[in-house]
Amino acid sequence: MELIYEKSKAGRRAATLPRHDLPPVEVPAELRRAEPPRLPELAEPELVRHFTELSTRNFGIDTGFYPLGSCTMKHNPRVNERVVMLPGFRDLHPHQDEEGAQGALELMWRLQEILQEVAGLDACSLQPAAGSQGELTGLMLMRAYFEDIGEGSRRDTIVTADTAHGTNPASVTMAGYKLENVATDARGNLDVDDLRTKVNERTAGLMLTNPSTLGLFDEHIEEVAEIFHSAGSLLYYDGANLNAVCGISRPGDMGFDIVHINLHKTFSQPHGGGGPGGGPIVVRRKLEPFLPVPAVVRDGERYRLDHDRPKSIGKVRGFTGPFGVFVRSYAYIRSYGAGLREMSEVAVLNANYLLARLRDAYELPYDRLCMHEFVLSARALKREHGVSALDVAKRLMDYGFHPPTIYFPLVVPEALMIEPTETEPKERLDAFVEAMLAIAAEAAESPELLHEAPTTRPVRRLDEVKAARRAIVKYGFEEHPDLAGEAGESRQLEAQKGA
């Protein structure tokens, strides 16, 4: 496919505006550009065709099954989009006075109440814009809390699991804490013996996903909570996997003190590619004074923003957070109503169905019932046929499926982390199983097919090392003469220019 600049013909226009007879505006010389911008010039039909063709090359949850483990790529009900487009929500200005924003404030307050109930905790701030920002906010709350009780300088370490998502250690470091890693035991739980040696008076807290990124619920979670609480430390729940437990078990009841909730996963949202997201944070009462300002509060029948929180860590995002995300999540939750538990039950059922059908063709490193996702290993395929998890993932694209998460968590070699979510029907799950089984058979019979995959997608397998080392993120006009020599691999070239 040609790039839009390659289609451009000088003088073509998608629209013409009527000439005006206003005097020219005086732009100060230092702000004037020396040359006109190099914009593509196309007639409207060609422009529309260009972007329509591009859009058909995208893969999304609306085009196919997207079992990207830990990312919870579920269907986004269209009713959510209708609700968020209601003029009262869509056109609301963030500086609207409280009197004119009562509906929006009420929605946020109600969402906070629901999230508190789901988490089993007492207070909520919707402000963080992603799970990772929720993590950082939670750690800042820990710091503020310990400083307030005079233990700030002593408690300098956060414990994480070796199955932790990369954002956990990154957030710990950004928040200025030291990192302590705990091993995973043979059943996929936190290794409690290892843990005991690592928790002491310097420990500020634990950061844990439960179920873990192995899709396994920690069988010793109450004992783990006790170890931390008896050392005076706090427990942080990374809620990325909350889709497994909504309405069934609550992080607060497990002993966690701070929870972030990835609204864009558990409560649907057209996410991916970096946004939009929401990472509200829910906490135990003793941490409430430190939550970001402004807080959304209710006084009788009126809702307002409370800025008067002297111990607050301050703002972590503009205004009250990503409001459109709140509206969609609220609509999603209300459409389930009291049956929210069913969402998680079906997510867990779907994952176990896939697991049961795939466990003989791929290795299962932790042989337990899974929660909403599970991790297989392509280690045997690699050993016996030289086929890697990457090959399996790329071949799945030829079968019309988005690959699962691969090579994560790090404790599983050649990991394939599969999360179907509750919104997939049995026929779709069966089709995915058939593809995975066919790929396992191909690995034995014709491994080269897998090494070359994908062969039917618009872009073939890319040289990822080269792409990372020499990322080209804008069209360079004549600035990339060196790419011309690679024109033999035209599809590769196309991807690089458009990357």
Ligand X SMILES: Cc1ncc(COP(=O)(O)O)c(C=O)c1O
Strands 405-406 and 415-418: antiparallel
User: CB of residue 457 vs ligand X: minimum separation in angstroms?
Assistant: 24
184 binds ligand X (CB under 6 A): no
Read off the tokens for 433: 């199983």
**For residue 190, what is the DSSP state?**
B
Least distance between ligand X and beta carbon 71 (Å): 5
* CB count in 10 Å sphere of residue 487: 9
Nearer to ligand X, 273 or 485 (CB): 273
Segment lying near ligand X (by CB under 6 A), choices 93-101, 130-138, 391-399, 422-430:
130-138
| 92: region left, alpha or beta (phi > 0 left; psi from -120 to 50 alpha) | beta
Contacting ligand X within 198-217 (CB under 6 A): 209, 213
Nearer to ligand X, 262 or 320 (CB): 262
Chain residues 68-97 in contact with ligand X, contact rule CB under 6 A: 70-71
For ligand X, the closer of residues 270 and 454 by Cβ is: 270
From candidates 76, 167, 266, 421, binder to ligand X by CB under 6 A: 167
- Which is nearer to ligand X, 165 or 394 (by Cβ)? 165
CB of 283 to ligand X, least distance (A): 17
Residue ranges in 23-42 that form contacts with ligand X under rule CB under 6 A: none
Q: Which is nearer to ligand X, 131 or 365 (CB)?
A: 131
Q: Write out 276-308 in H/E/C secondary structure.
A: CCCCCEEECHHHHHHCCCCEEEEECCEEEEECC
* Cβ neighbours, 10 Å, residue 342: 14
The answer to whether the Cα torsion of 279, 280, 282, 286 is positive or negative is positive
Task: Specify the stretch interacting with ligand X by CB under 6 A; choose among 53-61, 124-132, 379-387, 437-445.
Answer: 124-132
Number of residues that bind ligand X (CB under 6 A): 14
Contact of 267 with 83, CB cutoff 8 Å: no
Nearest 5°: CA angle at 168, between 165 and 172?
Answer: 160
Three-class SS string for 319-362? CCCCHHHHHHHHHHHHHHHHHHHHHHHHHHHHHHHHHHHHCCCC
Minimal distance, residue 99 CB to ligand X, in Å: 33
In the bound complex, what is the minimum distance in angstroms from residue 412's beta carbon to ligand X? Answer: 15
404 counts as binding ligand X under rule CB under 6 A: no
Q: How many residues appear in the chain?
A: 499
Q: Which of 161, 240, 376, 389 binds ligand X (CB under 6 A)?
A: 240
Q: Which stretch binds ligand X (CB under 6 A): 39-47, 127-135, 365-373, 472-480?
A: 127-135
Q: Which is nearer to ligand X, 209 or 492 (CB)?
A: 209
Residue 215: which of 446, 77, 102, 372 has the closest Cα?
372
Rg (alpha carbons) of the chain, rounded to whole number: 26
What residue number has its CB nearest to ligand X? Answer: 131
Residues 246-285, one symbol each (x = binds ligand X by CB under 6 A, - = not), give ----------------x--------------x-x------
Residue 15 Cα distances to 9, 11, 353, 441, 462, angstroms: 14, 11, 54, 55, 37
Q: Which of 177, 181, 201 is nearest to 191 (CA)?
A: 181
Task: Encode 56-91: b = buried (16+ Cβ within 10 Å), e = exposed.
Answer: eeebebeeebbbbbbbbbbebeeebeebbeeeebee
- CB of 353: closest distance to ligand X in angstroms? 22
Return the range that interacts with ligand X (CB under 6 A); candidates 31-39, 86-94, 126-134, 216-224: 126-134
CA distance 67 to 359: 16
Q: Which of residues 316-355 bind ligand X (CB under 6 A)?
A: none
Strands 302-306 and 157-161: unpaired
Among 83, 104, 130, 214, binds ligand X (CB under 6 A): 130
377 is a site residue for ligand X (CB under 6 A): no
Interface region with ligand X, contact rule CB under 6 A, candidates 129-137, 177-185, 449-457, 472-480: 129-137
Among 74, 165, 328, 372, binds ligand X (CB under 6 A): 165
CB of 134 to ligand X, least distance (A): 7
Q: Which is closer to ligand X, CB of 254 or CB of 387?
A: 254
∠17-21-26 over CA atoms, to 5°? 95
Candidate ranges 24-32, 125-133, 319-327, 483-491; the one touching ligand X (CB under 6 A) = 125-133
Measured from the CB atom, is 303 or 408 closer to ligand X?
408
**Chain contacts with ligand X (rule: CB under 6 A):** 70-71, 130-132, 165, 167, 209, 213, 238, 240, 262, 277, 279
